[in-house]
Amino acid sequence: MQDQDSYLAGYNPSKYPSLAVTVDVVALTIRDAKLCVLLVERGAQPFAGQRALPGGFVKEETLDDAAKRELAEETGVKPGHGDLERVHLEQLKTYGNPDRDPRMRIVSVAYLAFAPSLPDPTAGSDAALAYWVPVDEAKDLAFDHDDVLADGLERARAKLEYTPLATAFVNEEFTIGELRQVYASVWGEDLHAGNFHRKVLSVPGFVESTGTTTSRGGERGGPKAKLYRAGDAKLLHPALLRPTREDRVR
Amino acid sequence: MQDQDSYLAGYNPSKYPSLAVTVDVVALTIRDAKLCVLLVERGAQPFAGQRALPGGFVKEETLDDAAKRELAEETGVKPGHGDLERVHLEQLKTYGNPDRDPRMRIVSVAYLAFAPSLPDPTAGSDAALAYWVPVDEAKDLAFDHDDVLADGLERARAKLEYTPLATAFVNEEFTIGELRQVYASVWGEDLHAGNFHRKVLSVPGFVESTGTTTSRGGERGGPKAKLYRAGDAKLLHPALLRPTREDRVR
DNA sequence: GAAATAGTGTCTCTAAGACATTATATT
DNA sequence: AATATAATGTCTTAGAGACACTATTTC
């Protein structure tokens, strides 16, 4: 065996088979009350015609910056643009099985992004073949991206429970109903409107009132709703737990 | 911009500065009621004389296997040995800042290991300079390992709340008091014995009774304790939350 | 008016935590 | 005997969820 010291001192890069590090991004947004993921279409082998998560090589930059850059490139939204400022980005997991890419060894650091509804990438960007796909239609992705997406979805579902990240899916000002729709879309099950409302307002720092209301009621009736913005809490306490499902526990 | 397809097709490894992928392991155990981490001593520059997390280059193997191998090498416990079978290992986070190693770009995939008390590495292994250190004495580590350790500790503390992983720190058969000591050591605060006892037994699948008891009572008195083993739950429901601290929330 | 939604009220049940108590073992 | 620990009991309070209800808005 070698300790960290000796293997670093004796390392000669040319002795090792070449290896690359990429970032892949599971970018999630909500469109039409459905949770959607950003996918790109592959043109060439391997996996030609299949869809994949957006990603690319890591350059002379931090991993976080590489993920930000890839997301900006694929969505066609320039960094610095207001829309991207509000995107939450966090590292998800790293995938490095030797056979995950048939051509060479590629270690991919996956990121998870939560975004409010963003413009369609195809409109006015150089990301010709990127688009938002409802997550339940995102199957048979290239490489091991089915696994990456599944891990990203589970992380997103769990994070809604104990962090205020649901606010990353809505506009800066939002109604409690819109927030509830985020939970329903991500968790895939409806929540009781009354209880949800009371619960959200009772968690310290989750949301704070703007003092204003929407200019009109719901599309099919209902009163004007009060508007809120994200509060200063980093963790929800007490948490907002998913309806218990026995099969998640064992 | 490039989509994943074109950059892979056009990639020529020799064009890029060389880059290596390593795994580093935050291996935690409990010794003397204190949470300890496995560290190795560095002999050469950079960071000579400082301590670091055990780790090494990823070979022709999965990342998980690389972490298992490194842990076995540094602890001097052979894979296949009973002790290592019970070690819980999970991926923690990947660290890839361009300047984290002064010599070349190294992307390190950190792993987190929970182990029952293992033999001292120095005794009878080739890991001459590895030893267990109480986590509050593990400061000024080499590279960015202070950050890695901090992330690992926070992950461990959080995981005790909603998973049965505390059982990975104790023997196959254990008493409720031993389990409580794990929580106290990892969280750094004492727990109320009576309430903890009732709580653990009330969570379905957390522990199951062996029907036996310890052969003698506590060192300083007290009745023989019933023995338990880990149950089949993968998640604790309801969770065993840390005593609330306001500063964790904002 | 019919229908939908916002927001509140009420009730029940579970669970957390403070604290007390009993039993059993050790030195 | 003194002390420590295991295990259980009791009480209070917070919170989750079911459900009802009112008010307000749209079509």
Q: What is the pLDDT of residues B2-58, one digit of tens each?
A: 444 444 444 444 445 689 999 999 999 999 999 999 999 988 888 999 999 999 999
- For the segment A198-208, the average pLDDT, to the nearest whole number, is 98
Express as a percent the part of chain A with pLDDT over 90: 74
Q: Say if residue A153 is in the same domain as residue A191.
A: no
Q: Say if residue A212 is in the same domain as residue A105.
A: no
Domain boundary residue, one of B110, B136, B156: B156
* A71 CA from C25 C1′ (Å): 64
pLDDT of res. B237: 95
What is the domain count for chain A?
A: 2
Euclidean distance between CA atoms B212 and A198, whole angstroms: 48
Is residue B2 in some structural domain?
no
pLDDT of res. B6: 44
Is residue A7 in some structural domain?
no
pLDDT of res. A16: 53
Q: Say if residue B29 is in the same domain as residue B122.
A: yes
Domain boundary residue, one of B121, B156, B191: B156
Nearest chain B residue (CA) to A1:
B73
Q: Say if residue B92 is in the same domain as residue B209.
A: no
Neighbours of B16 (CB within 10 A): 16
With 90 as the cut, is the pLDDT of residue B241 above it?
A: yes
Q: Which nucleotide is nearest to A194 (CA to C1')?
A: C7
**Residue A107 touches partner B, C-beta closer than 8 Å:** yes
Is residue B5 in some structural domain?
no
Q: Say if residue B54 is in the same domain as residue B152.
A: yes
Nearest one of A25, A189, A138 to A91, comparing CA atoms: A25
The CA–CA distances, whole Å, from B150 to A207, B101, B110, B154 equal: 29, 19, 12, 6
Domain boundary residue, one of A159, A190, A214: A159
Taking the C1' atom of D23, which residue's CA lies nearest? A223
- For the segment B116-136, the average pLDDT, to the nearest whole number, is 77
Interchain proximity B19–A14, CB inside 8 Å: no
Rounded to the nearest integer, the mean pLDDT of chain A is: 89
Element (H, E) at A39: strand A34-41
**CATH code of the domain covering residue B82:** 3.90.79.10
Q: Give the structural domain span for B99.
A: 17-156
Q: Say if residue A140 is in the same domain as residue A237.
A: no
The CA–CA distances, whole Å, from B42 to A9, A97, B46, B77, B143 equal: 11, 29, 9, 21, 11
- For the segment A198-212, the average pLDDT, to the nearest whole number, is 98
Residues of B within 8 A of A21 (CB-CB) are: 19, 21, 96, 107
Residues of B within 8 A of A17 (CB-CB) are: 60
Residue A134 preceded by cis peptide, ω within 30: no
Q: Say if residue B26 is in the same domain as residue B141.
A: yes
Each residue's pLDDT tens digit, A140-151: 999 999 999 999
Which comes out higher in pLDDT, residue A26 or B119?
A: A26
Each residue's pLDDT tens digit, B73-109: 888 776 666 667 789 999 999 999 999 999 999 999 9
Nucleotides of D under 7 A from a protein CB: 2-9, 14-21, 23-27
Taking the C1' atom of C24, which residue's CA lies nearest? B223
**CATH code of the domain covering residue B204:** 1.10.10.10
Phi first, then psi, for residue B59 (nearest 5°) are -100, -155
Residues 167-186 of B with CB under 8 A from A: none
* B162 CA from D13 C1′ (Å): 23
With 90 as the cut, is the pLDDT of residue A224 above it?
A: yes
